[in-house]
Structure 1
Amino acid sequence: MDVTPEPATAEWGPFGRPIFDDPGARALSRVGVVDVGSNSVRMVIFDGAARSPAYFYNEKIMCALGAGLSETGRLNPEGRVRALSALRRFQHLAKGMGMPPLSVVATAAVRDASDGQEFCEEVLRETGLKIHVIDGQEEARLSAQGVLLGWPGAYGLICDIGGSSMELAEIHDGQVGKRVTSSLGPLKLRDIPGGRRGRKAHITEVIQDLHEQMGQQRDRLFLVGGSWRAIARVDMERRGYPMRVLHEYRMSAQSVRDTLRFIETSDLEELRAACGISSARMSLVPFAADVLSRLIKTFKPKDIAVSSYGIREGLLYEQMPDRLRNRDPLIEACRFAEMKDARIPGFGRTLYDFVSPLFRASPHTKMRLVKAACLLHDVSWRAHPDYRAEVCFDNATRANLGGLKHSERVFLGLALLHRYRNKRQGTAFEHLYELLDERGRKEAEILGKAMRFGAMLMVSKSGDIGKLTWQPRKKHLHLELPKEAEPLFGEVAESRLSSLARSLEAEVTVKLRKP
């Protein structure tokens, strides 16, 4: 992820003042959106840090509203009943939670069906929910904005596949550029005459036309949509990939080609069971696979990334002023967690200042991880001491955090694990360590042990806890402590400092500052 560093301020350093200090930012919390798609109807309620909200509630019902639309021109009658039932349930849940009005959007199936307007009127009459039917261009824009929610400053081509349509949009410099829509949704592709040969010829023709409209798009391809996520899940299964987090999962073009061949030659029911994919979703995967194969062959992206963020997150992004959009979602989520769960909220910034000399020459991409770790260093204190280190690792690697590559999740998890224990061997997560190179594992250990020592000096959120000086060429670590911190530097603190020095392969000296 490319996140542009923010201007430094004297008080808050390079990461700026926390946005949740601003009442205007807090007003975005507890936002509910509903996406009435061609294949599913989903409600998401966001809460937490405004720039990187958590999924307070997330429910999807597979309705297949768009099934048979190409033949009849109307919404699937059974899907219509199921969708109305789902919306009635979602509205009831939202009222029970004391939510403000839900934002509801409908995409290809409802906008293309002759009875789409009739369905919207029925929903309004039965539930009080007003459905906003958006066109393909707007759908592409919102999906692209959803990607920007998790990847500020990202660049490349967004491809959002739904049941009845597929949208493309380019993003660069935090902005959405050209965008187009097509009818390449799996539900519609099933109805193309001529079997697979006819379907593939149709896909080739449509994607060639999309390519002419969009031009060369050789950067990253961001995949948005349930069918893409299902294919990515199969890719993980085929590769024996150790982490099951789909967001920011990366694939090469060759890996995708291998997986598409794997799908063709596998028993779909066995594959579905092995990957935990629903039957309704798996039935669409072969159609989506043909689209993805031609998409990659035509646009030739440098790599492929899966985004769990899409139109629903784009609706949330739409409500954010630019001052929020430009913030780092990882840092804001970690700040929110510290404010909510740490024993001494605010000490994370003091700890960051304390440990940062150990990473003096590191790029911004590494320092944001150091900052995140310091903010999260104490949020799991309620966990049982015997499992605290593993809880920290599990939270970091599986939590809904935006702006983290999988290797960065492991770095953050290892740093927090070492915050509570010296050794990383003997945990249930050793198979994940391979996602981080040896240098990264060593740096995570050093950061974790530095935080483990620094936490021994935690008395207040902004007190003077001393200063570390690190001379890597001389392999010398120096600690200067203020006189008032001397009582804190006891036997356990000294042992933790020695452990840090051993990881640095350094000699250590300690000096008490004169009053």
Structure 2
Amino acid sequence: MAAIDCGTNSIRLLVADLPDASAGPEAPLVDLSRRMEIVRLGQGVDRTGRLAPEAIERTRVALASYAAEIEKLGAERVRMCATSASRDASNAADFREMVERTLGVAPEVVTGDEEARLSFTGAVRGLPADAREPYLVVDIGGGSTEFVVGTRAGGVEAAISVDIGCVRMTERHLPGDPPGLGQVAAAQADIAVAVDRALAAVPGRQAATLVGLAGSVTTVVAIAQGLQEYDPDRIHHARVSYDAVADVTADLLGKTREQRLAIPVMHPGRADVIGAGALVLRVIMERAGMDSVVASEHDILDGIAWTLLPAGS
């Protein structure tokens, strides 16, 4: 089976097999291929309300490569979900037509609620025993951030999506290189309003464990760990304190893009927006009263893949 997650900043592919039945109910999928490309599909959407032609073309190039990989590995079921940018754009039909031509299947432009539920499904399977329930799962994307509260057995209790992604916040508030104090303050205030609205809609302050998903979170955790290269095995389920997240956030916001690019774990396509992503994470932890965050490399992409299981599996 093949899952594709197309967000505001990146497009990702997972081709996987089912785990062996003897591995137990919490066993992860067996990865055959996991890929990610920064395509910035949401370039300028917050300002123009439209997907830029060059952004659609970047996405097409990446998607054509994914289609070849899917065919090579023989995946029988394919699902592609598109999220914040393609929900917001007035010319989303152009994007859908491109996907059908390139991939052969139509993209599902999922709602913020469905995006949150898929993220929760992917994130909570296999969490360590010391990650107490209920969970507050936050998926910090390029255009939006999803907040989901729930448990393994009971599933999702409540979910909401708010428009405070790292690309959107950078374009809206953080043009400076590095951003000035006033720019950071404006971004923080905007984020805080959205976070408080989300935490009023879902009981996040009553959760026992904060689980953070997506590239902003995993990059911050990698920096906090002092990794000299991006190592998913060391990042997955690592727990990092609020103080460490606050320190990394302040450091990132004080650096220029070139200085951020020099950080060993930094993906080049994330360097210009990571300060905003880190700020979103820090404000969430602060407003929710969380003293630590558990990072997960498994997220909406895995959630999409799990929905492709045959009935009865």
Secondary structure class of the residue paired with 2:206: coil
- CA contact under 8 A between 2:51 and 2:92: conserved in structure 1? yes
Secondary structure class of the residue paired with 2:252: helix
Map 1:342-357 onto structure 2 (within 5 A): none
Map 1:294-305 onto structure 2 (within 5 A): 294-305=283-294
Q: Which residue of 2 aligns with 1:72?
A: 48
- CA contact under 8 A between 1:91 and 1:129: conserved in structure 2? no
Q: Which has more helix, going by share of residues? A: 1
Task: Report the AA paired with residue 236 of structure 2.
Answer: H
Q: Which residue of 1 aligns with 2:189?
A: 201
1:70–1:267: structure 2 CA closer, same or farther, 3 Å change rule?
closer
Q: Does 1:248 align with 2:237?
A: yes
Q: Which residue of 1 aligns with 2:168?
A: 188
What is the CA deviation profile of residues 316-367 of structure 1, one whole-angstrom value per residue up to 9, with x for unaligned ones? 233458986xxxxxxxxxxxxxxxxxxxxxxxxxxxxxxxxxxxxxxxxxxx
Task: Report the AA paired with residue 290 of structure 2.
Answer: P
Return the offset for 1:302: 4.6
Task: Report the AA paired with residue 142 of structure 1.
Answer: L
Q: Which residue of 1 aligns with 2:198?
A: 210
Length-normalised TM-score, structure 2: 0.85
CA separation in 2, counterparts of 1:170 and 1:323?
26
Map 1:258-337 onto structure 2 (within 5 A): 258-266=247-255, 269-320=258-309
Match among 226, 231, 236 for residue 215 of structure 2 = 226
Secondary structure class of the residue paired with 1:58: strand
CA separation in 1, counterparts of 2:189 and 2:195?
10
1:272–1:237: structure 2 CA closer, same or farther, 3 Å change rule?
farther
Q: Which residue of 1 aligns with 2:5?
A: 35
Task: Report the AA paired with residue 196 of structure 2.
Answer: Q
Return the offset for 1:190: 2.1
Q: Which residue of 1 aligns with 2:78?
A: 102
Q: Which residue of 1 aligns with 2:37?
A: 61
Q: Does 1:143 align with 2:131?
A: no
Q: Which residue of 1 aligns with 2:19?
A: 49
- CA contact under 8 A between 1:218 and 1:302: conserved in structure 2? no
Task: Report the AA paired with residue 36 of structure 2.
Answer: K
Q: Which has more strand, going by share of residues? A: 2
- Percent identical pairs in the alignment equals 25
Return the offset for 1:197: 2.7
Q: Does 1:157 align with 2:136?
A: yes
Return the offset for 1:52: 2.1
Task: Report the AA paired with residue 42 of structure 1.
Answer: R
CA separation in 2, counterparts of 1:266 and 1:187?
17
CA separation in 1, counterparts of 2:200 and 2:219?
28
- CA contact under 8 A between 1:160 and 1:168: conserved in structure 2? yes
Q: Which residue of 1 aligns with 2:151?
A: 172
- CA contact under 8 A between 1:236 and 1:244: conserved in structure 2? no
Task: Report the AA paired with residue 279 of structure 2.
Answer: D
Q: Which residue of 2 aligns with 1:398?
A: none
Q: Which residue of 2 aligns with 1:27?
A: none
- CA contact under 8 A between 1:272 and 1:279: conserved in structure 2? yes
CA separation in 1, counterparts of 2:85 and 2:120?
20
Secondary structure class of the residue paired with 2:85: helix
What is the CA deviation profile of residues 107-165 of structure 1, one whole-angstrom value per residue up to 9, with x for unaligned ones? 11111111112210232134412111101000000000001223288631000011111
Return the offset for 1:49: 1.6
- CA contact under 8 A between 1:230 and 1:281: conserved in structure 2? no
Aligned residue pairs total 293
Length-normalised TM-score, structure 1: 0.53
For structure 1, the residue ranges without an aligned partner over 5 or more in a row are 1-30, 325-515
CA separation in 2, counterparts of 1:98 and 1:318?
18
Return the offset for 1:222: 0.5
Secondary structure class of the residue paired with 1:305: strand
1:47–1:190: structure 2 CA closer, same or farther, 3 Å change rule?
same
1:264–1:82: structure 2 CA closer, same or farther, 3 Å change rule?
closer
CA separation in 1, counterparts of 2:72 and 2:5?
20
Return the offset for 1:105: 0.8
Q: Which has the larger radius of gyration?
A: 1
CA separation in 1, counterparts of 2:232 and 2:95?
41
For structure 2, the residue ranges without an aligned partner over 5 or more in a row are 21-26, 174-181
Higher relative contact order structure (alpha carbons within 8 Å, sequence separation ≥ 6): 2
Out of 300-309 and 261-270, give the one that drifted further: 261-270
What is the CA deviation profile of residues 15-63 of structure 1, one whole-angstrom value per residue up to 9, with x for unaligned ones? xxxxxxxxxxxxxxxx111111111111111125254223211221211
